[in-house]
Amino acid sequence: MNDKSEIEKPMLSIDGMNFSTLEEFYDEVSNKLIPNVNWGRNLDAFNDILQGGFGTPSDGFVLVWKNSELSRERLGYSETIRQLEKRKLSSHPSHLSSLEKENKRAKNGDGATVFDWLVEIIRSHDTIDIIFE
């Protein structure tokens, strides 16, 4: 009898050719990972769906990120600046200073990008393996 470590994880994939913005990334997640599921379409909700129970396997899976270098470019500093500007519009005034600092770093080509945010969330799940293609 196979023990759990020998069981092959299901493979799910997303394709960087299909998105250029964080919002389009959420569309890709909706279409490829959790079809027909309504979810929050934000970073916290993305983290939640990776835990399983929203259509992703709760025992984990392998996420194949096709055209990941294209995603790294498209979800780079320009998209990061755009997302930080959007956050400023809905953030509590006490958060504006830190958002401004983060935005300034991004404008200087420094700090984490949207791509980095997403990869960090994925890697925070021990049950998910990621393959960049």
Domain ranges of the chain: 9-75+113-133, 77-112
User: Is the CATH code 3.30.370.10 the one for domain 9-75+113-133?
Assistant: yes
Give tens-digit pLDDT for 20-50: 999 999 999 999 999 999 999 999 999 999 9
Provide the 8-state DSSP code for 58. T
Return the axis-axis angle of helices 114-123 and 43-50, rounded to nearest 10°. Answer: 30
* pTM recorded for the entire structure: 0.90
Provide the 8-state DSSP code for 21. S
In this structure, are strands 128-132 and 11-15 parallel, antiparallel, or unpaired? unpaired
Please indicate whether residue 55 or residue 76 has the higher confidence score (pLDDT).
76
Residue 130, sorted as left (phi over 0), alpha (psi -120 to 50) or beta, turns out to be beta
d(CA 25, CA 45): 13
